[in-house]
Structure 1
Amino acid sequence: MVERRIEPSIVRRHTPFESIATFALVAALLYFGAGIIVPLVLAILLAFALTPLVTWLNRRLHLPDAVAVILAVVGALCLLLSLATLAGLQLARLAEDLPGYQQTVSTKLTGLQEQFGGELMERINGTISSLSAQVSDVTQVEAPAEGRPVPVAITNNVGPLGLLSSVLGSIVGPVATLAIVVIFLIFLLLGRADMLERFIRLVGSGDYAKTNLAMADASRRVGRYLLVQLAVNSTYGVLFGLGLWLIGVPSALLWGVLIVVFRYIPFVGALIIATVPFALAFAVDPTWNMLLLTLGLFLVLDLTTANVVEPRLYGSSTGVSPIAILISAMFWATLWGPIGLILATPMTVCLVVIGRHIPELRFLDTLLGSEPVLTPPEQLYQRLLKGDPIAATEILEEYTTEHSQADFIDEVALPALIMASEELTDRPAAFDQRRQMVESFNMMLEEFETSDVEDGPIILLIGGRTEVDEAAARLLAIQLSERGIPTRVLPPLAIKPQAIERLDLDDVGIVAMVFLGADIRSQARYVSRRLRRRSGDIKLVACAFGEPTDGETVERLHLDAIYRNHVDATKSLHRQWESDLGPVERVPLSPRLDPTKTLVQARLQKIAADFGVAVARVDLLGQVTAGNEAPSDELTRLAAHGNKPLFVTQEMNAALLAHDAFLQSNGILLYAGTPLKMPNGDRVGVLALLDYQAVTLSDADLERLERSAAELVDLMLAEQINLDLPQPVLAG
C-alpha cells in the first residue's frame, strides 16, 4: 500500500501590479462587451423581479411552468406598453395646448426685462442673435468669385421609402435590444433550475451548502431591493403627480408616471424629467406662484427621499452602504452609460454577497457592505487610540441606551483594554499611544454614575503593571461602588519595591491586583509575600483577565483567590466583603521598617515618610534598567546637573512626565529630584521623590530635600556600604 503525502498548498499573494492589471482587464471586457453583456444583465435583473410571480402562478394556479413564464413576461410587456401609450396620449394633448402658452411666456419675459433693466436682456438677445447669424453663415452658399466655376449640388427629394428607412433605422436598435432581453428573459425563467445547478457546479467547488447559501442570499437581497425601489418610486410618482394636479400643472398624470420610470436612473433621473413641469408652470401661470409651488414640491419630495428614505431603506434591504451605491453608480455609468446607472445597485449587491460568502473576496463586503466592520470593543479602542474621548463617550451613550452599564463594562470597555494591553506593550514606540488612550479612557469614565461609599473596610484595587491595568481596576471599582462597597484605586507604583512598604493598609480589608497581561506570577508572588509579612489576616486576590499560564495557582502565588473574568471578580469580591469584612472592626496597621534592609534603604524609607510621598529612591547616572523599572536616563541627568532640585508635576511640567515611560506607566504625578554630590564635586546620581498624587512641595521642602541628599551621601561614605541596586553608588 502506497502512502500518499499531501503537501501543504502554498498560497501565492498577488502583487499590486497584478491586481491593477486584472481590474483593468475586467473593466475593458465589460466596456467593449457591453452589446452582449448589457442585455444579458437586464434579463437576469428582470428574472429576479418576475421569479416570485412565476412561482406564484405555478403553486397557486397550478399552471405549467412554460405557461406561467409566458403570462408573466406578457404581463410585464403589457404594463410597459400601457405606460408608453399613456405617455404618448398625454404628450399629444400637451402638444395641442402649447401654442396657447406663447402669450404668457412673452408677457413674463417682458416683465423680467422691465424688472431687471434692459441691459441684461439685451445681452441675452445679442448672444442669441450672434449664434443665429453664425449658423446662417454656415448654411448659406458662398457667392462664387469672379472667374471661378459655380458649384453645383445634386439633391434627391426624400420619398416614402427613404422616410420609412430613416424611421426604421432610428428604432431598430432599441427594438432589437428589447427583443434580445425578452428572449434571454424567457429562457432564463424556463431554465432557472437548470441554470442554478450549472452555476453551483461551476463556482461551488464542491461546497454546495455555502454556494446555495450565497445564491439564496443574493436572490433575497436583489429581490427585496427591486421591491423597495418599486415602492419608493411609485410613492414618489403618486405624490408628485397628485401635487402637480393640485397646483394646476398640465398633464400632471404624465409627469407622475414618467418620474416613476426616470427615478430608476439614480441621482439625476428625477431632475431630468422634472424640468418639463417647471417649464410648463412658467408658461401656464401669468404669475410666479405655480412655478414656485412646483419647485417647492420637487425639492421637498426629492430631498426627503434621497437623504432620509432611500439611505435607510436601500442600506438595510441590500446590505450596501450609501457611499458604495454612489461609487458604483459612477463606475457603471462610465462603462455602460444610463443603463449602467439602472444596473449599478443590483450588481453591487451581488458583489457584496459574493464577498460575504467567499473568503478570498471578503474585501468586497468590507468596502461596499453596510454592516459595521468593527465590533463595539474595536470601535471604542480605535477612538481611544485617536485620543477622542467625545467619540468614545458617544459609543458609551449609544450602547447603554439598549444595554446596562455593567454590560458595557463587561462586553465593550474591558475587551478594549485587553486589546490595548496586547498591542501597546512597553516598547517606546507604543508608549505615547498608550498614554493618550488611557487619558481618553479616564475622561470617558467620568460619564459613569457612581456613589461614594465610606463605611466599612475598603477594597484596595491596584493596577498590576501598567496604567492600562489601572484603568481596568477603575472599571472594577465602578462596579463595586454600585453594590455599596467602598473602594480605592492605586496605580502600579504603589506595589513597586520602593513603595510597597509605605502602602497604607489601615482601613483595607482586601487587596486586589488587576492584571490584563498573560503572565502574573513574578509580580503577584512578590507583592503577596511583602504584604503577608505586614499583615497576616489581609485578603489578597488577583483579577487576571488575560490568558492563564502554567503555574498560576493560589498556592504558588500565595493568594486567597484568582478571578479570571470581570463578572466573577465583581460577584466574588462583593460576597467576600459582605461575609468577612462588613461587620468586622480591623486594627489599624502602621508601616514598619524591615530590619533586613540596609541602612541606606532604611534611610530612603524614612525620607519618604518625612515628606509624605510614596517613594524615595536613588537613581544613578548611566544606570542600566530594563523596561519601565526606573525613570529615564534623560530625566535623571536633567535632575543631577541642575543648580537646584528639579520639581515636576502634571500641572507644571506635563511634557517631562508625558515622555517618561516609568512615570507614565506607574501613574506618577510628582517627581522631585536633587543631585547626589560627592566631596570632590562629582554628581553620581539623584535622590528622587515620587508619588501618584500631585503633592505640593514648598521652597523650604526642596531645601530640606537637598540636605537629605547630602546626609545620604555622608551615610554611604561613612559606612562604606552599597545600595541594593543593579549598580552600586560606591565601590566597597
Structure 2
Amino acid sequence: MTSCTNTPLGDGRRVLVTIAAAFIVFAGLQAARDIIVPIILASFLAIASYPITVSLRKYLHFPHWLAVCFTVLVDFGFLIGLGFLINFLAKDLSIEVQTTYQPLFETKYNDLMLFLSDHGLDTFVQEKLGSAQDILSAGVIMSITTAIMGKALGFIAITTLVLILMTFFLGEAPRFRSNVDKITASRGCPNIRKFADALQGIQRYLVIKTLISLTTGILAWGLCKYMDVGFALLWGIVAFALNFIPTFGSIVAAIPPILLALLIGGISDAVIVAFGYIVINFMLGNGIEPLLLGKQFGIATSVVLLSVILWGWIWGPIGMLLAVPISVLVKLALENSKDLKWIAMMIDNPPTTIPLPKIPPYTADPGNGPDKGPHKS
C-alpha cells in the first residue's frame, strides 16, 4: 500500500503542517519577546563587539577578563549615553515645538486653507484633518514626547540585563570557538563549521553596518546644521539608528527634518534637505555599503524587505534592526533541513566575489582556556 507521504495529497498536507507550525513558532516568539529580545540583543552586541576584545588581547596584551570588562564598559557608555541624550533632546523638542514651531505651523496651515478654499477643498481637508490646533495641540505633543521618553527610559532599563548577558557571551566566546573546532575534528556535527562561518559573516556585517550608519548620522547632522534645521544632533542620531533598518529606516529618518525645513524655510529648503538625504543614502547605501559587504549573505533584496516587516511584527524595533542577521541564521537552518531546503534555494541570491575587510574573527585558546593570557595568532 502506497504511503500518503508519497502522494500529492500527502505533500500538500506536509506543506500545510509546515505553514501552521511556522505560524505557531512566530506567535510563540512574539509572546516571549520580553524574554527573548534582551538575549538576542546581547548576542548580537557581543558578536559586533568581539573584535574590540580580540584587539585588546592581541595588541595590548590584556588578559581575557580585562579585555571583556573594557569592551562591556565601552558599550555601556555608548548605550547609556545615547539613551540619556535622546531623552534630553526629546524634552527640549517638546518645549521648542510648543513655543516656536506650533505658531509657525498654524500660519502655514491657515495659508494652505486659504489656497484650498479657492478650489473648494478647504471643507473636505478640515473634516479629515481638523484644525491646526487639533493637529499640533499640546496634548498631542506631550503624548508623542512621553512616548519617546518612555522608549528611551525603557531602553535604558533593559541595558543592564543586556550587558550582563553580553559579558558572559564575550567571556565564553573563545571557549565556544575551541569547542567548535573539537566538534568539527571529531565529526560530531558536520554543519557546525558552516554555522560558525555564518557568525563571522554576521560579525562583519554588524561592524561595517555600524560604521556606515555612523557616517550616515554624521552627514545627516551636517546637512541639517547647514540648512539651519532645528535639533540637527537629534536627526543625526535618528539617521544613525534607523540606518540599520534596510530601506524603510532611511525613509523614516528623513521625514522629520524635511517637514521641519518646510515649516521654517519653505518648499525650497525642504527640497534641498530631501535631496541631501537622497544623496547621502544613495552614496552610502547603494555605493559604499554594497562594495564593502557585497551580497555575502545570499538573500534576495525582496526577502530582506519582507524580513524587516516580519521581524518588526514579532519583536518590534529590535527585530527590524536585526532582521538581516536573523534572516541569515534562519536561511542557514533551512539549508540544513532536508524538507525545507527548497525554501532556502528559493530566496537565495548568489554572493559576489568582492573581498571583505579583514576583521578579527572569533579566536580560541586551545588547551589554555580564555583566561590564560593574550591570544596567540
Q: How high is the TM-score relative to the length of structure 2?
A: 0.71
Q: Secondary structure at the match of 1:78?
A: helix
| Residues in 2 aligned to 1:216 and 1:120: alpha-carbon distance in whole angstroms | 61
In structure 2, relative to structure 1, the CA distance for the partners of 1:125 and 1:331 (3 Å cut) is closer
Equivalent pair of 1:69/1:189 in contact (CA under 8 Å): yes
RMSD of the alignment, in Å? 3.7
Q: Secondary structure at the match of 1:265?
A: coil
Shift of 1:180: 2.4
Q: Secondary structure at the match of 1:320?
A: coil
Confirm whether residue 105 of structure 1 aligns to residue 105 of structure 2: yes
Shift of 1:129: 5.7
In structure 2, relative to structure 1, the CA distance for the partners of 1:32 and 1:89 (3 Å cut) is closer
How many pairs align? 325
Q: Secondary structure at the match of 1:318?
A: coil
Shift of 1:172: 7.7
The answer for the alignment partner of 2:363 in structure 1 is none
Shift of 1:236: 1.9
| Residues in 2 aligned to 1:33 and 1:234: alpha-carbon distance in whole angstroms | 31
| Residues in 2 aligned to 1:100 and 1:130: alpha-carbon distance in whole angstroms | 18
Equivalent pair of 1:69/1:186 in contact (CA under 8 Å): yes
The answer for the alignment partner of 2:216 in structure 1 is 236
Shift of 1:210: 3.9
Confirm whether residue 178 of structure 1 aligns to residue 159 of structure 2: yes
Equivalent pair of 1:87/1:258 in contact (CA under 8 Å): no
The answer for the alignment partner of 1:327 in structure 2 is 306
Q: Secondary structure at the match of 2:349?
A: coil
In structure 2, relative to structure 1, the CA distance for the partners of 1:123 and 1:88 (3 Å cut) is same
Shift of 1:178: 2.5
Equivalent pair of 1:351/1:364 in contact (CA under 8 Å): no
Q: Secondary structure at the match of 2:322?
A: helix
- Please give the per-residue CA displacement for 1:319-377, whole angstroms capped at 9, x wherever unaligned: 323222123223222322222211210012223445567777643542333217xxxxx
| Residues in 1 aligned to 2:100 and 2:226: alpha-carbon distance in whole angstroms | 21
In structure 2, relative to structure 1, the CA distance for the partners of 1:88 and 1:16 (3 Å cut) is closer
Equivalent pair of 2:79/2:159 in contact (CA under 8 Å): no
| Residues in 2 aligned to 1:106 and 1:31: alpha-carbon distance in whole angstroms | 41
Shift of 1:116: 3.6
Equivalent pair of 1:94/1:251 in contact (CA under 8 Å): yes
- Please give the per-residue CA displacement for 1:143-189, whole angstroms capped at 9, x wherever unaligned: xxxxxxxxxxxxxxxxxxxxxxxxx9988854553332222111111
In structure 2, relative to structure 1, the CA distance for the partners of 1:349 and 1:330 (3 Å cut) is same
Shift of 1:37: 2.1
| Residues in 1 aligned to 2:197 and 2:311: alpha-carbon distance in whole angstroms | 23
Equivalent pair of 1:247/1:290 in contact (CA under 8 Å): yes
Letter in 2 for 1:192: A
Equivalent pair of 1:249/1:290 in contact (CA under 8 Å): no
Equivalent pair of 1:325/1:344 in contact (CA under 8 Å): yes
In structure 2, relative to structure 1, the CA distance for the partners of 1:296 and 1:54 (3 Å cut) is same
- Please give the per-residue CA displacement for 1:594-653, whole angstroms capped at 9, x wherever unaligned: xxxxxxxxxxxxxxxxxxxxxxxxxxxxxxxxxxxxxxxxxxxxxxxxxxxxxxxxxxxx
Matches within 5 A, 1:490-501: none
Q: Structure 1 unaligned runs (5+)?
A: 1-11, 134-167, 373-732
| Residues in 2 aligned to 1:293 and 1:101: alpha-carbon distance in whole angstroms | 20
Q: Secondary structure at the match of 1:260?
A: helix
Letter in 1 for 2:42: A
Shift of 1:111: 3.2
| Rg larger in structure | 1
Equivalent pair of 2:109/2:132 in contact (CA under 8 Å): no
Percent identity (aligned):
26
The answer for the alignment partner of 2:125 in structure 1 is 124
In structure 2, relative to structure 1, the CA distance for the partners of 1:177 and 1:198 (3 Å cut) is farther
In structure 2, relative to structure 1, the CA distance for the partners of 1:365 and 1:221 (3 Å cut) is farther
Shift of 1:307: 5.3
Equivalent pair of 2:114/2:122 in contact (CA under 8 Å): no
Q: Secondary structure at the match of 1:370?
A: coil
Equivalent pair of 1:319/1:371 in contact (CA under 8 Å): yes
Equivalent pair of 2:87/2:153 in contact (CA under 8 Å): no
| Residues in 2 aligned to 1:60 and 1:20: alpha-carbon distance in whole angstroms | 50
| Residues in 2 aligned to 1:29 and 1:128: alpha-carbon distance in whole angstroms | 39
Confirm whether residue 263 of structure 1 aligns to residue 264 of structure 2: no
Q: Secondary structure at the match of 1:266?
A: coil
Q: Structure 2 unaligned runs (5+)?
A: 135-148, 352-377
Letter in 1 for 2:322: L
The answer for the alignment partner of 2:168 in structure 1 is 187
Matches within 5 A, 1:289-688: 289-302=268-281, 314-354=293-333, 362-363=341-342, 365-371=344-350
In structure 2, relative to structure 1, the CA distance for the partners of 1:18 and 1:288 (3 Å cut) is closer
Equivalent pair of 1:329/1:340 in contact (CA under 8 Å): yes
Select which of 181, 190, 200 maps to 1:220: 200
| Residues in 2 aligned to 1:321 and 1:171: alpha-carbon distance in whole angstroms | 33
Equivalent pair of 1:248/1:290 in contact (CA under 8 Å): no
Letter in 1 for 2:125: I
Shift of 1:291: 1.7
Letter in 1 for 2:72: V
Shift of 1:29: 3.3
In structure 2, relative to structure 1, the CA distance for the partners of 1:104 and 1:170 (3 Å cut) is closer
Shift of 1:85: 4.0
In structure 2, relative to structure 1, the CA distance for the partners of 1:272 and 1:214 (3 Å cut) is same
Shift of 1:310: 5.3
Shift of 1:46: 0.9
- Please give the per-residue CA displacement for 1:194-231, whole angstroms capped at 9, x wherever unaligned: 44566788x97952584453143112210111122113
Larger strand share, 1 or 2: 1
Equivalent pair of 1:39/1:177 in contact (CA under 8 Å): yes
Shift of 1:259: 0.9
In structure 2, relative to structure 1, the CA distance for the partners of 1:222 and 1:115 (3 Å cut) is same
In structure 2, relative to structure 1, the CA distance for the partners of 1:259 and 1:48 (3 Å cut) is same
| Residues in 1 aligned to 2:344 and 2:109: alpha-carbon distance in whole angstroms | 55
Q: How high is the TM-score relative to the length of structure 1?
A: 0.39
The answer for the alignment partner of 1:499 in structure 2 is none
Equivalent pair of 2:72/2:167 in contact (CA under 8 Å): yes
| Residues in 2 aligned to 1:68 and 1:320: alpha-carbon distance in whole angstroms | 34
Equivalent pair of 2:184/2:193 in contact (CA under 8 Å): no
Confirm whether residue 253 of structure 1 aligns to residue 233 of structure 2: yes
Shift of 1:273: 3.3
Shift of 1:115: 3.3
Equivalent pair of 1:314/1:320 in contact (CA under 8 Å): no
Letter in 2 for 1:226: L
The answer for the alignment partner of 1:115 in structure 2 is 115
- Please give the per-residue CA displacement for 1:385-430, whole angstroms capped at 9, x wherever unaligned: xxxxxxxxxxxxxxxxxxxxxxxxxxxxxxxxxxxxxxxxxxxxxx
The answer for the alignment partner of 2:142 in structure 1 is none
Letter in 2 for 1:328: S
Shift of 1:35: 2.6
| Residues in 1 aligned to 2:24 and 2:86: alpha-carbon distance in whole angstroms | 42
In structure 2, relative to structure 1, the CA distance for the partners of 1:292 and 1:33 (3 Å cut) is same
Letter in 2 for 1:232: I
| Residues in 2 aligned to 1:294 and 1:32: alpha-carbon distance in whole angstroms | 40
